[in-house]
Chains A and B, each alone.
Chain A
Amino acid sequence: MPFYANLVPAGELVITKHEATNRLFHSARKAETLMHRLKLVVNDSAIENYLLNIIQILYPEYEGMFTVNIFHGYDANAFILPNGKVFISTSMLAMCENEAQIAFVLAHEGAHFMKRHSYKEYDKFITNIEQTLESSRNMTATYSRFSQTQELEADKIGMDRFQSLQYDGNQAIRFFIVSSQEDPTDDNEGATKYSTHPKTVERTYRLEKRLKSKKGVIREKEYLKFAIKYRIPTYQEYIRGYDYDTIIRQYESRPELTKFVPEYWFFLGEAYRQRGEISDHEMQLDAYQKAIEHAPDFAPTYASMSAYYADLNELEKAMQFYREYIDKLPGSIKHVKHSYFSEWYNAALVESNDRLENKKTVGLK
């Protein structure tokens, strides 16, 4: 049976092999253009070259065919287009702990390319890549519409390639554990973004069977040198999206995160503030205090501390932290509360100074 026979239902217009390839490449180029037009692609040639080197070593027979791009992505995701363009989200870079884990991701994506899975899933690919890019919020939800069999095949080939380069196979399994901690809906029933992926339990079971006993290379420092700068923006996006659950869950499952990124304490404090349960008030303060202890130059913590004490009507402490925030403001992440505070606090500053000088006082709202 010819290659293209299963691409088109019987009785429909027959598309030749070259036409199918051309259409796929055209759609891939269109998807790529849309990513750039929506300003989703991050220009970071250092990490792109670093990741490109890894995938080229993994798949030397496809030298020159891959390109790696980083895109702003709320979800930890990676995908490959039929023309060899690999896209990895900033959340994925933030989630991975070392080079071995990201190398496994690249090995998995390279396996999809090697086995031409997008050609075999032609109809699904064309429909989904264009539709999901139009909806920027859930744009990464259905990129990789490969079948479960193809995903398992990509895991298998990726694992073999990855271990052949002496990477530690345990990190591939660790990657799935970390990923499921990031998003526990991974293994839920129903239409989640991973509904086309096999369950994590099954994937890790199959990978364990292919595990080599020798401990391999991990390369944590080399990876973090390039990738650590994506962690704070990723956490900031979680807070912006009111995704406090993810921040709290990550901390509970991986408390060591605060060692890599001391500013994480601030985001944890914000997460407790957003969740707003009874016990969260104290935990919020505790987290902010740890942020000041471990990351004293991180300005947004002081703005949040100021707001915390203002809510308790402790004016002097609120002012003290607010002044420290203003001192540290240049070069920090812009804290939206600052503009809302500034009117109130400018008035409060005058009030506070008047009190200190025993001048006439005016009641504050």
Chain B
Amino acid sequence: MLFAMLMIAGSLSGCSAWTYVSNADERETFDDISYSPPAHWLLRTPTNNYLKLSSNSWIKKVNFNRMRLTRNGVLLETIELFSIDQKDAFPFLRKSVTEKTKVEDLAEMYVAEHLDSYSVTIVENEPAKLANRDSFHITAKTMNSDGIELTRQHYGFIYKKKLYVITYKAPTKYYYQQYINTFEKLLKSCKVE
């Protein structure tokens, strides 16, 4: 049973800038992945963040990197890349993973760690290929407290001792379909270094 938790998210990198992506041919790197950000989107330079997780009996500080992309604002459509050390990937489950962990088990742990809520409906959970690596592909819908349904896709795999996750989130009505092709192009452009 997961305990009530207190999370404090902080940024260790100070101010991070939003930059405008003018050219579709630009390549950016995020840790060991390179990708082409979509033109005319805003890119927030990768930041090192941490989550301070506490429950009744333990406190843990977990570092992770995050990069964000948006077209109309982060409360609308957002593409995010996360990387986290494989031993810290699942702090609540207290499970560590390796590159040998099967993708279906990785997906199961990811759902248990991040998507285990009654307001989240898992629509799809299937294998996929990302940057020529086996990854999980989860599509989930959630309702926020304003009654707006959001759809979010999650792709994830382990590479060089890190869990990489790429997500695309947008309100289901109108915004999700409008930029899904952009997201898929970004996925196709991903390469591991």
Contacts and interface: CB of A to CB of B under 8 A. Distances in A.
A312 interface: no
B145 A191 contact: no
A336 B107 contact: yes
B75 interface: no
Interface in B52-72: 56-57
Size bin of chain B's contact surface: 20 to 34
B12 interface: no
A192 B119 contact: no
Interface in A94-153: 133-134, 136-138, 141
A137 B116 contact: yes
B112 interface: yes
A122 to B, nearest CB: 23
Contact of A340 (B3, B56, B107, B122): B107
Contacts of A240: 111-112, 116
Contacts of A242: 93, 95, 108-109, 112-113, 116
Interface stretch (A37-45, A201-209, A261-269, A323-331): A37-45
A141 B113 CA distance: 18
B118 A190 contact: no
A347 to B, nearest CB: 12
A134 B111 CA distance: 20
Interface string B59-93: 00000000000000000000000000000000001
Interface of A: 34, 37-40, 72-75, 133-134, 136-138, 141, 183, 185, 188, 190-193, 237, 240-243, 245-246, 336-337, 339-341, 343
29 contacts: A37-B147, A38-B119, A38-B145, A39-B143, A73-B118, A133-B145, A137-B2, A183-B1, A185-B56, A188-B56, A190-B57, A191-B56, A192-B4, A240-B112, A242-B93, A242-B109, A242-B112, A242-B113, A243-B1, A243-B2, A245-B1, A336-B122, A339-B125, A340-B102, A340-B104, A340-B107, A340-B126, A340-B127, A341-B104
